[in-house]
Structure 1
């Protein structure tokens, strides 16, 4: 189990009065902060978090305080919602929620440039936001303070913004970390938003700010509305205006904040074990770090991986990171073990490895033995290259695992991931169980929210937020270089690697196609098309491979015409093998097959022949080999 976030002890609090309510002032991370307490708090302590200009238009705050809300603020006003400000906000949130027992979901209130803050933080934490109230919000710094559109901007503030973000004018024009972008996660969580604007605002023109954000958010399915303020004196060229009916907006916040929702905590699904301290220590001291992401399509696709990489850069802002994206769709633990050298180590030696295989190991039917050999083979291979590396094993969700949990059964793949993680002291996150439990608790549905084993933006956020919790709460304890324990399985693929197809001999009916691509229109996977392949398409085609090691296999492409083979190792009994898979009619699928993985160390010879018969669903007899697999 993981311990709670590390919170620096705060200096003594000062108590004063604000509009008849008790106000608590204190210093948090060397910044002024405060919160105001209601006379009688609503159960669960709902709260409003003000960003910038906390004393502007406080009528709504007074109403909410009288109804039992807390109001909070921390001064990061000189930071323009820079990622460093977002780290302060993360820590302030953790302090108020964990130490002061504020509600897990907060209503964000952003005025003018405060829009940069509320959207910057909300996009990074959509699961922690009940709703957003934004008043004449800046949604694009190029509009304000940049003045690149209709508004005059602020030359002084624009210069400060450019300096803070370390951008040139040309780079600023392409800068994307602004409220207008990356709203998919927020929309997926259906966070309600209301913008209050002045129609004649010349400083933060609505057409360059609110209008664009409203359009973007609504197109993503997010609930959002706009209330133009047209009554009363319009000052500062329309940027300042009276708030009509503040009770209406207080009702909006109360409606979406009460009763207080208390989502399940992330911590029960995290096992820190030996933690991430070695990697964190290097990130801090050497200012360099290599982080690899090894997995299938859930790792390959945009989502949690990108968010995790971005968060690491923000959490360690002085570190120069190398990120290795080694996700390939359809592949599980056995393929990962044999491609680890080429796809990871050849690009850098990881200080931190994120590893997942539970979904594809289930779908591809790998046995418990094969899963252990693959996963621990990867870890042992990594520790041989970097004995101080840290690893995070993750078991992702999919419908069959939900069914297992529904029937009171722990999915095999989840158990294997946990067992391997514990044996080697790697951190472990059971996201499969977390997703199931959250669905069972009524937080969301699989059908409309998570949607698929390839998660929707909602699901990607669920994964990322738990990974983020591990990164935030790990104590960072540095440990000695690992002394490898005895292997769980002596035949683990710790020395697995690809061997080139050109190592084959005595080719009869096989030939090398230097740039294979399918003759049909059946889809392919990246890295397994327009590459050299050893191709045989007729019965009785054969080849030999001499190798040295304890295991041998083939990485093939299994498409609509995949055939059957027979093979023998060292002249022993011939074994049949069908290369056709349940997915072969839909995809030229990368498919990894171990032909023998409990051999004695030393030299061996594989003889492979295309069989005369074929699967009844196949259209041919093809055997297309991309790599030979050898575990030395």
Structure 2
């Protein structure tokens, strides 16, 4: 007897609902002769089926939909020692709410049941919306994907926006699950055919078993687009078209006559279970994010700022964090401040923090990234401590309940330090500040080094650069997400207790830059050889940085040109644009012996680089005078004697 498409899936759905209603948590029964245990995940019914003798490492298959359809492969895998698992997502079609349930079930399976950290995903039909949606967000947590007659674009089915006839009732249900209007659903660009870079970077194998004439999920609207895009990005995709046997329901129901072959695919990609170092080894929660958690769950308005260099500026982990926060807390109105500027480390951050971040809004959560550029820019250890402490104290003075995360990213220098059993200076300083102020921190540099040694990936082939590949960005996000989940789960449902107060601990260094600010170039007195260009742009073809072009600049290229600046405080410096013609300055503070500083950097030949220079710190508090003149000498690689000051730096 042939069943209609709607009736078939209705029967499957009803069977799952009956199970959910009649079997309480921890109820056990038998499934194909194996012990099945039911539980409840946030009001959603779920179960695991236990093999008679589990393989070492507890590999498992996670079915995304229709758990009683074509179970031959599951039976074979149970015999071979795999667990089978399923969580009923109640026809949410891979929506953000649905994927939150998946996150919770994954934590339950890996933490409570001790199943392997990389399950094989088994997706039938619309189940591909769930499986690929979750896998794209968690490519580090998947061993392989088996997709049978997969729906890879919901605009095809159930939307009927192409050749598929679709399903009007399911389309309505999908829009409700996503909280979409018709226009929003059509414009949605995160279907399984979209944004596959991370999944491809992890080389997750996807086996597609399809009907050759599937009219409900036509291959030209689903499979063909997915395979083309995925393989173009370097992802391994296999296609096994079924051409024999009865193919019912418009070619969407296909026979599975060789389940052993598909079981072999899962076994070969999931076993032996590879040892993976846990993300939790690389972050310290300390006070955590409970103030932020209260804001997003009670006030439902929150501002998150990202302060960093190119690793923060470039696309990757930051966008994934913002998407994660919006998906996990859909009722919260988030304001995100992207304050990443390439080439800048802790010294620039502490002086630009007020203008670039604090003047914009009250910040509830602050991400700080500086460790890579502090090494690249040769920022000395004392200056690092003063700068990082300055950022923290400025933030806490602005909002005593702000939560702060200090992040320590990877680079080849840090790999070499760890190889010599040395703690990189930048990491030590970040951790010193975090421990003193009881702030959260993540040592991503150590994680990358350890995981390379654990043969989980390689720097050359996978991570590739300190500006990481898609693989590296996914790894960074996975650790940050694990940290955020740990913080949020720790406080979810717990009585709120403020972890911060208006009183700050004693300073580590009394000369920290807690009053670091920009000082305007108009405050300087200068001779006629200097001029202020209100909208500076380079006259050559060298590159520029956002925020340091089309801005006012106090500049000269005349040797002997002089200026003076009166200031009050204990530190002074300059933020310059260092290009191919950068010169050398002579400077003194309060008439002391002149010193020289070369403004030309290793990157100046091809880039007008923002370059922050500390000319004096630890000064006696009070009034001072800075004098600067352009020296006759210049770097052998420089084309001139230029000095272009964008800001003075004053503490």
Q: Give the TM-score band, short-chain normalised.
A: over 0.9
**Equivalence for 1:315:** 328
Tell whether 2:137 aligns with 1:124: yes
2:494 maps to which residue? none
Cα distance in 1 for residues equivalent to 2:328 and 2:390: 30
SS state of the match for residue 508, structure 1? coil
Shift of 1:603: 2.5
- Corresponding residue of 2:364: 351
The yes-or-no answer on 1:465 pairing with 2:485 is: no
Quick one: distance in 2 between partners of 1:415 and 1:112? 51
Give 1:530 shift. 1.6
Matches within 5 A, 1:154-553: 154-474=167-487, 475-476=490-491, 478-553=498-573
Deviation of 1:492 (Å): 0.9
2:578 aligned residue: 558
State the distance in 1 between where 2:233 and 2:352 align: 37
Distance 2:255 2:148 in 1: 11
Contact 1:229 1:244 in 2 (8 A): no
Superposition RMSD on alpha carbons, in Å? 1.3
CA distance in 1, matches of 2:55, 2:81: 5
CA contact (8 A) 1:537 1:620 kept: yes
The answer to whether the aligner puts 1:96 opposite 2:109 as a matched pair is: yes
CA contact (8 A) 1:508 1:543 kept: no
Query: Structure 1 residue aligned with 2:626, among 598, 606, 609?
Result: 606
Q: Which whole-Å deviations, capped at 9, do the CAs of 1:31-63 have from their partners, x for residues lacking one?
A: 111111111111111100001111111111111
CA distance in 2, matches of 1:610, 1:278: 50
Structure 1 residue 12 displacement after superposition: 4.4
For the pair 1:65 / 2:78, whether they are aligned, the reply is yes
Greater Cα offset, 564-573 or 324-333 = 564-573
CA shift at 1:570, angstroms?
Answer: 2.2
Q: Is the 8 A contact 2:24 2:38 kept in 1?
A: no
Q: Which residue of 2 aligns with 1:106?
A: 119
- Residue by residue over 1:276-315, the C-alpha shift from the partner in whole angstroms, topping out at 9 and shown as x without a partner, is 1111111111001111111100000111111111111122
- Could you tell me which residue of structure 1 aligns to residue 152 of structure 2? 139
SS at match of 1:553: strand
Measured after TM superposition, the shift of residue 11 of structure 1 is: 6.3
State the Cα deviation string for residues 195-245 of structure 1 (Å, max 9, x = none): 111121111111101110111110110011111111111111111111131
- Of residues 109-118 and 561-570 in structure 1, the stretch that sits farther from structure 2 once superposed is 561-570
Q: Is the 8 A contact 1:292 1:350 kept in 2?
A: yes
- Cα 1:479–1:364 change in 2 (3 A) is same
| Partner Cα separation in structure 2 for residue 276 and residue 232 of structure 1 | 57
1:323: how far off? 0.6
Correspondence for 1:18? 31
Shift of 1:569: 1.8
Task: Please give the secondary structure, in 2, of the residue aligned with 1:119.
Answer: helix
1:138 CA drift (Å): 1.1
Shift of 1:26: 2.3
Aligned residue for 2:291, secondary structure, equals: helix
Q: Distance in 1 between matches of 2:611 and 2:146?
A: 51
Verify the 8 A CA contact 2:363 2:399 in the aligned structure 1. Answer: yes
Return the offset for 1:105: 0.6
CA–CA distance in structure 1, aligned partners of residues 116 and 209 of structure 2: 25
Find the residue that maps to 1:185 and give its secondary structure: helix
Moved more, 512-521 or 405-414: 512-521
Match of 2:11 in 1: none
Query: Contact 1:281–1:478 (CA<8 Å) still a contact in 2?
Result: no
Deviation of 1:606 after TM superposition, in Å, equals: 1.5
8 Å CA contact 2:96, 2:178 repeated in 1: no
Are 1:624 and 2:637 counterparts?
A: no
Give the TM-score taking structure 1 as reference length: 0.97
In 2, Cα distance between equivalents of 1:174 and 1:502:
49
Q: Which segments of structure 1 move beyond 3 Å, counting only runs of 4 or more?
A: none
SS at match of 2:471: helix
Partner SS, residue 347 of structure 1 = coil
d(CA) in 2 for partners of 1:191, 1:571:
65
Secondary structure in structure 2 of the residue aligned to 1:253: helix
Task: Specify every segment of 5 or more residues in structure 1 that has no aligned partner in the other structure, as ranges.
Answer: 1-9
CA displacement, residues 586-606 of structure 1 (integer Å, 9 cap, x when unaligned):
321111001112222232222
Answer yes or no: is the 8 Å Cα contact 1:545–1:605 preserved in 2.
yes
Structure 2 residue ranges without an equivalent (≥5): 1-22, 492-496
Q: Distance in 2 between matches of 1:564 and 1:69?
A: 68
Whole-angstrom distance in 2 between the partners of 1:163 and 1:546: 63
User: Is it true that 1:54 corresponds to 2:62 in the alignment?
Assistant: no
1:231/1:244 contact within 8 Å kept: no
Mapped to 2, the partners of 1:454 and 1:133 lie a distance apart of 33
**Secondary structure class of the residue paired with 1:615:** coil
Q: Give the conservation status (yes or no) of the 8 Å contact 1:391–1:426.
A: yes
Out of 559, 570, 585, the residue aligned to residue 590 of structure 2 is 570
Deviations 1:517-553 (A, max 9, x none): 1111111111111211111001011112222222111
**Paired residue total:** 622
Counterpart Cα distance in 2 of 1:337 and 1:174: 41
